[in-house]
Each structure stands twice: as C-alpha cells, then as structure tokens.
Amino acid sequence: MPGSTKGPPDPRSRVGVRAALRRGYTPSMTSAPRHIIEASEPDQIAAVGALFAQYATSLGWDPSGGGWIADEIASLPGPYSPPGGSLMLALLGGEPAGALGLQPVPGKARVPGVGAETAGELKRLFVRPESRGHGLGRALMERAEREARARGYDALVLTTSPEMMPLAQGLYDSLGYRETVPYRDDMPWPGIRWMRKAL
C-alpha cells in the first residue's frame, strides 16, 4: 500500500534466511542453549581434538595418518595454550558442537613489517554440520575477539580458502575482516585469502 513501511524479512522465512546468509549470519532455528568456553580440562581439550579431526576430514586431510595435523591434535592445547593462546569450545545443548583456536603468529614464520608480531592468529574454525544454524561460528569469532583483546593483541589475522571453505567467507566479511598482505612466509599455497581485523 502507498505510504506503508516494509520491514526487514523475517529471518525464519525463506527470504529472510537467504538475506541473512548473504550477510554472513546464520539465523538460529531453535532455542537450544549455546555456550562458548575456554577448553582447559582434559575432556574439553579432547572434545576440541575430535572437532579438529572432523575439520581436517572435511577438507580432505587424514588426521589418522600422521603428519602435521595429527601432530597438532595429539599435542593440544599446543600453540593455543595460555598466555598467548586460547582454545575455544562451543557447546550446543551441553554437547561439543564447534571449536576455534587463537595463537600468536609463529615467530619463525612471521613476515617482518606487517604487524605479525602484535597480532593473534585464528585457526581451525569449525562447527559440526548437524549443529549449524545456531550462530555458533559467529559466537566463536566474537569470543575470540574478546580473548585477543585480553591478551594485548592489536589485530586478528587468519587465512582462508574460498574454494575449500565457502561458508566462512561471508562470516569473515560481515565481521569486518579485510584482505591484507601475507603475514607468514610458510604458507605458499595459491588461492589463499589473507585477512585481518584491527581490534
């Protein structure tokens, strides 16, 4: 009708869901309680390890066949240990559903002159497919920002692949991450997006 004001799409409608996904936001479909905790107890660290293994498998890596990803999982919390790091675990209805790691950019790999010395690096963002649709990825990223500020980092950096991780691209963009110059010299793979957000 003339003069009427049309509000934003209902996020529960098909139109609303499509609009939300374009903005990198996954609307919650249920009221299941969610919590983001810092994994510090052995059972919590083991839960993160299982999630990291599922993350690796989703990318075509074999976490059971040895190599660097198997070593990282076996040594958790490893580089994500305090005081410089944080291992975050998302719980949905009390069950492990997602994970994210925060670490200093490895000293031997830092590119000089690009701020890598004062930035925290995010690694292994993953939410189980059956637990998606509850905003857990966004909640993990927002918790990581708080943890990074508490540790004195002035920025967060990450690497991502639009081909291998298409669902994450809109989330990173919507949270204010912008493409930047490479900050590590040990990741020569083509097609990587180097991203940074000032805190």
pLDDT attached to residue 30 = 54
Residue 20 belongs to some domain of the structure: no
Q: Which residues of the chain have pLDDT under 50?
A: 1-8, 10-26, 28
Q: What is the pLDDT of residue 17?
A: 41
Measured in degrees and rounded to the nearest 5, phi and psi for residue 101 equal -115, 140
Residue 188 lies in a domain: yes
Q: Which of 193, 83, 91 is nearest to 140 (CA)?
A: 91
Does 7 map to a domain? no
**Residue type (1 letter), 2:** P
Domain assignment of residue 13, yes or no? no
Number of domains in the chain: 1
The pLDDT tens digits for 61-88 are 888 878 899 999 999 999 999 999 999 9
Q: Would residue 6 count as lying in a domain?
A: no
Look at residue 127 in the predicted model and tell me its pLDDT.
Answer: 97
Amino acid at site 143: R
- The confidence score (pLDDT) of residue 31 equals 65
| CATH number where 100 lies | 3.40.630.30
DSSP string, 144-172: HHHHHHHTT-SEEEEEE-TTT-HHHHHHH
Sheet holding 86-92, edge to edge: 34-38, 86-92, 95-104, 119-127, 155-160, 193-198, 178-179
- Asked whether residue 143 is assigned to any structural domain, the reply reads yes
Q: What is the pLDDT of residue 1?
A: 41
- pTM above the 0.85 mark? no
Query: Does the residue 3 lie in any domain?
Result: no
Structural domain of residue 75, as residue ranges? Answer: 28-198
Are 153 and 112 a contacting pair, CB within 8 Å?
no
**Is 169 among the domain residues?**
yes
Give the model's pLDDT for residue 95: 97
- Please tell me the distance from the alpha carbon of residue 127 to that of residue 131, in angstroms, as a whole number: 7
